[in-house]
Amino acid sequence: MALFARVMPHRTFRFNECICSPFNADFDGDEMNLHLPQTEEAKAEALILMGTKSNLVTPRNGEMIIGATQDFLTGMMNKIRGNRKTERLQ
């Protein structure tokens, strides 16, 4: 999966919960590696072949790989419906 990186102050990878499935990430101490394309041609090839837009569905059966799941959906529902607990905390 080719993504754009933003340097943050901590020594960890951060990414949106919606792209956990392609990485098989479950936040239980998994290890990830970072590879940087060196040439402009390699960067363009990575974005075309491995970019997020090119990897939205599985080639096996056409199911969506990237999508909102679990806590992400619960948080959005609470935000939209106006969760009383979060309103009191603010």
51-74 pLDDT tens trace: 877 777 777 787 777 766 666 667
pLDDT at 77 over 90: no
39 domain residue, yes or no = yes
Contact 67, 23 (CB under 8 A): no
d(CA 65, CA 14): 18
Domain count of the chain?
1
User: Does residue 81 or residue 40 have the better pLDDT?
Assistant: 40
26 domain residue, yes or no = yes
Domain extent, residue 31, equals 17-89
d(CA 37, CA 44): 9
d(CA 52, CA 19): 9
Which residues face 2 on adjacent strands? Answer: 51
